[in-house]
Structures are given as structure tokens and as C-alpha cells.
């Protein structure tokens, strides 16, 4: 078997055997298969797809590339959470502490920024001193002591996802059901939780523009999770507009801290509470997560996690040199904000990576001043753009301003949760 033969088989729409998939992953990890061949294969998967059996085998091969944590000695039902990625999606930073403050044990492996979407690891790393590189022993210890840890894939935990993830990010090979499902579920299975809550996004800013495709992806992932013995529930949620007000790493940590203090954007808090409530339900914890905002325990839990991972929040979060308002050129009610364009603008400002070796600018991003449902007069700020220098702001301003769709009539924000998927059924929110 050679890499060229295996790539050609997927290019021609054939089904891989488990051996072929393991051959590719181990060759990529040991360096005998270079980036350009793996990128060609990823693109072939994007265009040709995979059968359910292949997706399952790919997930298993990715899990087997590292260790599977055994957390069975920790009391209680451990619950992990994962989003398929969005713009302004800092739900993990809120729902994780909320669930943990309610008594759920949360071991979580997260990802970095992918294409135009943000990554929890990059957001956390904007806190001075914080590390997401926890080896399995440190990860297990923190979960035992604090009930909450968020870490990266590593040479010991799903190294195949770490390698593929970085390559997919810069080769336009993210939007693929089998690649997303195997990437997400391999991390969830390896991190050792008993149950998993998935937030599967659809819309302009998501990797699945169409809600039915997102339901399909959700069902694939629920099936993989349940097949691996993990109770799995997915919420299918809208990502047409950015979630909350902030897009960009340090800006999103700041917004998460505010939300945990009871000062959050309504939609952001609603979806975070909904995710945390699903986590509580799976863990058999009967507590309304909102009470953990009200009594301050969720914010304390988040701060304790940042500290346990070396974070020094007291030193302050990085701030951009240039903070420039983006004025509205007309008056009206905000009907929509194109999340894809906002995500692309954040990427261009340095909040994500164009190339593997790029360094993130932790202070860069966008703060939405005129959210969906709000209204503006010409000249009012639509957003504040945070950048290393004013030239970067000038570059992104025209496309970013065009992301706002203004209408004459008042607007109500559209419903956020579209469906819930578990092992038994798909329940539409409209039912």
C-alpha cells in the first residue's frame, strides 16, 4: 500500500478499509507522509465523503493514536461538551464552569481556531501564563480536584487530531461531516467522560450552512458516541449571526467573565444555560445552572480553573493598540449580521491563522455595538474593531460594515435552538 494509492482511491470515490485509514494516520504522525499528501487526501474526503463505517473507523483510528483516559475512579458521571465551531462562540467558557459549579465533573479536550471560527484553546491562552498543554496525569488531577479542566490534544492524547486539525485549518478542508465528526468525537472519547453534550451549529458562520445537514452531522456524532458507550445528546443551534457581542480571543474571555457575573448578552446566556442544563441532566444533577450565576459560584469556578492552569488573570487580559469604531452609513433596525464575514474579518485582524506557523494576536477582534434586534442612526457605531494597528482596521472595515443588514421595520431575534438529538429521536424546537 502506498499513500498515492490510498489518496487515489478516495479521489475516485471508493471506500477505505480500516487498514488504509490507520496507514494514513500513522504515516502522517511518523512523518513518512508529508503535509501535501495528507492535504490532498483531506480534500478528497471533503469532496467524496465517507460512509458511516469509514467515519467510525477513522474515529477509532484517531482515538487509538493516543491514550484513552480512565476517569472511572472519580465519583459521579463525568460530562464533556463540544461545539462544532462558530463565530463568537464562547459557550464552553460559560457552560463548563456553570455545570461544574452545579456539581458536574467536566473533563474537556478542546480545539484551536479553525478557518473563520474561534477556538477555545486560543481564547484561554490569551490569559497571561495559562497553559492548555496538560499531560494526562495533570489533566486527571485537575479534574479530580476542581471538577473542571480544558486541555489540548497532545502527543499522548489524540495526536492524530492535533496534526490533522492544524492542517485542515489552513487547507480549506474543515467543512466535511466525516472529518468534523471524527475530530470532535475522537477527542470526546479520549478525554474519558461518561456522557457528552454537543452543540452542532448551522448557518452562515458554521461549517454546515444548512440546518438539515447539521441535524445529519448531529445524528452521526450521537451514534458514534453511543456506540462508544457514552450517552450523547446534541443541540442543533443557529450560527447565522455571531453569538454574543465579542469575537476574538481575549475579548471573548472578557465577555465570558461578564456573563458569569450576570452581565451577559441574553442569547449567549440562554444557549450557555441550555447546554449546561443538558450537562446537568446527563450527570443526574438537579440544579438550575442560572443559580450558579446568581450566587457567583460559576465565575469562581472559572477563575479557579484559569489559576489551576497557570493563568494570571490579575495581570489583565491583552488589549489591542487600536480600538476603532465602525460607523453605520445608514439608519435602521439590525436584521442580521453575517457571521461568516465577521469571522473572516477577525481572522484578517489576527484572531486566527492563515498559515500553520502564524501566531495569534490575542487582543485582536471585534465587539458588536449594534446587535440583531437593535437599531442605529447613521454614524452610530456598528462595532468597535480591535487591532494591532489602524491600517488593519482600514483593510477590514468595508467588508465588515457590509455584514450588517439594516431594515426599516423593528426586528425580533430568531430562535436559537433548532433541534435536540439523542439516541432515540430528533426533537424539533418548533414541535
Which positions lie near ligand URA, rule CB under 6 A? Answer: 84-85, 111, 114, 174, 179-180, 183-184, 187
Nearer to ligand URA, 54 or 333 (CB): 54
The residue number whose beta carbon is nearest to ligand URA equals 183
Residue 186 among the catalytic residues: no
To ligand URA, the closest distance from the beta carbon of 235 in angstroms equals 15
Nearer to ligand URA, 126 or 183 (CB): 183
Residue 65 among the catalytic residues: no
Residue of 187, 301, 386, 416 with catalytic role: 187
Lookup result for grid cell 471533503: 46
To ligand URA, the closest distance from the beta carbon of 82 in angstroms equals 6
Q: Do 360 and 403 touch, CB atoms closer than 8 A?
A: no
244 burial type by CB count under 10 A (0-12 exposed, 13-18 middle, 19+ buried): buried
Q: Hey, is 305 helix, strand or coil?
A: helix
Nearer to ligand URA, 59 or 84 (CB): 84
Containing H/E element for 345? helix 339-346
Nearer to ligand URA, 83 or 126 (CB): 83
To ligand URA, the closest distance from the beta carbon of 103 in angstroms equals 26
Residue of 81, 82, 162, 353 with catalytic role: 82
Neighbours of 95 (CB within 10 A): 28
Residue 82 among the catalytic residues: yes
To ligand URA, the closest distance from the beta carbon of 201 in angstroms equals 9
Nearer to ligand URA, 130 or 177 (CB): 177
Residue 78 among the catalytic residues: no
Containing H/E element for 375? strand 375-376
Containing H/E element for 150? strand 148-151
Q: Angle at the Cα of 293 (from 289 to 295), degrees rounded to 5?
A: 110
Q: Do 186 and 392 touch, CB atoms closer than 8 A?
A: no
Give CA 261 to chain center in angstroms.
Answer: 22
Measured between its terminal Cα atoms, the distance across the chain in Å is: 51
Residue of 161, 169, 194, 199 with catalytic role: 161
> Which residues, 6 or more positions from 241, have their beta carbon under 8 angstroms from its beta carbon?
203, 205, 336, 337, 338, 339, 371, 372
Residue of 126, 176, 183, 272 with catalytic role: 183
Instruction: Return d(Cα 325, Cα 102) in angstroms, integer.
Output: 39
> Which residues, 6 or more positions from 422, have their beta carbon under 8 angstroms from its beta carbon?
222, 232, 233, 234
Q: Hey, is 96 helix, strand or coil?
A: helix
Nearer to ligand URA, 206 or 305 (CB): 206
Residue 187 among the catalytic residues: yes
To ligand URA, the closest distance from the beta carbon of 278 in angstroms equals 18
Residue of 168, 188, 353, 420 with catalytic role: 168
Q: Do 335 and 372 touch, CB atoms closer than 8 A?
A: yes
To ligand URA, the closest distance from the beta carbon of 184 in angstroms equals 5
Instruction: Return d(Cα 363, Cα 248) in angstroms, integer.
Output: 7
Nearer to ligand URA, 180 or 257 (CB): 180
To ligand URA, the closest distance from the beta carbon of 285 in angstroms equals 25
Active site residues: 82, 161, 168, 183, 187
Amino acid at each position: 500500500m502506498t499513500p498515492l494509492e490510498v489518496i487515489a482511491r478516495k479521489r475516485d470515490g471508493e471506500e477505505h478499509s480500516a487498514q488504509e485509514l490507520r496507514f494514513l494516520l500513522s504515516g502522517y504522525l511518523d512523518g513518512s507522509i508529508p503535509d501535501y499528501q495528507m492535504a490532498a487526501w483531506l480534500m478528497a474526503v471533503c469532496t467524496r465523503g465517507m460512509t458511516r463505517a469509514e467515519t467510525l473507523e477513522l474515529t477509532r483510528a484517531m482515538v487509538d493514536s493516543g491514550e484513552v483516559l480512565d476517569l472511572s475512579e472519580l465519583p459521579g458521571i463525568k460530562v464533556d461538551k463540544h461545539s462544532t465551531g462558530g463565530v463568537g462562540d464562547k459557550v464552553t467558557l460559560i457552560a463548563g464552569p456553570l455545570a461544574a459549579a452545579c456539581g458536574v465533573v467536566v473533563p474537556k479536550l478542546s480545539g484551536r481556531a479553525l478557518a473563520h471560527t474561534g477556538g477555545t484553546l486560543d481564547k484561554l491562552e490569551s490569559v497571561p501564563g495559562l497553559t492548555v498543554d496538560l499531560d494526562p496525569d495533570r489533566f486527571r488531577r485537575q479534574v479530580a480536584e476542581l471538577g473542571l479542566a480544558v486541555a489540548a490534544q497532545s502527543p499522548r492524547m489524540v495526536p492524530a487530531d492535533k496534526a490533522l486539525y492544524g492542517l485542515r485549518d489552513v487547507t480549506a478542508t474543515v467543512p466535511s461531516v466525516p472529518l468534523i465528526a471524527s475530530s470532535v468525537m475522537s477527542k470526546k472519547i479520549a478525554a474519558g467522560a461518561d456522557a457528552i453534550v454537543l452543540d452542532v451549529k448551522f448557518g452562515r458562520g458554521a461549517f454546515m450552512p444548512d440546518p438539515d445537514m447539521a441535524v445529519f452531522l448531529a445524528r452521526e456524532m450521537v451514534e458514534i458516541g453511543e456506540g462508544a458507550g457514552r450517552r450523547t445528546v446534541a443541540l442543533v443551534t443557529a450560527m447565522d449571526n455571531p453569538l454574543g457581542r465579542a469575537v476574538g480571543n481575549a475579548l471573548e474571555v472578557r465577555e465570558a467573565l461578564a456573563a458569569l457575573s450576570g452581565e451577559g448578552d441574553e442569547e449567549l446566556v440562554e444557549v450557555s444555560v441550555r447546554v449546561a442544563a443538558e450537562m446537568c441532566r446527563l450527570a443526574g444533577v438537579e440544579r438550575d445552572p442560572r443559580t450558579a450565576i446568581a450566587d457567583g459560584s460559576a465565575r469562581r469556578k472559572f477563575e479557579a480553573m484559569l489559576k489551576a492552569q497557570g493563568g494570571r488573570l490579575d495581570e489583565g487580559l491583552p488589549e489591542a493598540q487600536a480600538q476603532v469604531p465602525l460607523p453605520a452609513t445608514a439608519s435602521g433596525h439590525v436584521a442580521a449580521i453575517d457571521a461568516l464575514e465577521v469571522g473572516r474579518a477577525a481572522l484578517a485582524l489576527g484572531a486566527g491563522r492563515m498559515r500553520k506557523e502564524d501566531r495569534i494576536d490575542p487582543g485582536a477582534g471585534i465587539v458588536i455595538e449594534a446587535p440583531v434586534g437593535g437599531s442605529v442612526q447613521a454614524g452610530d457605531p456598528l462595532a468597535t474593531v480591535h487591532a494591532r494597528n489602524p491600517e488593519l482596521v482600514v483593510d477590514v472595515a468595508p467588508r465588515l460594515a457590509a455584514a450588517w443588514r439594516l431594515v426599516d421595520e423593528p426586528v425580533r431575534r430568531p430562535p436559537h435552538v433548532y433541534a435536540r438529538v439523542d439516541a432515540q429521536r430528533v426533537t424539533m424546537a418548533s414541535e
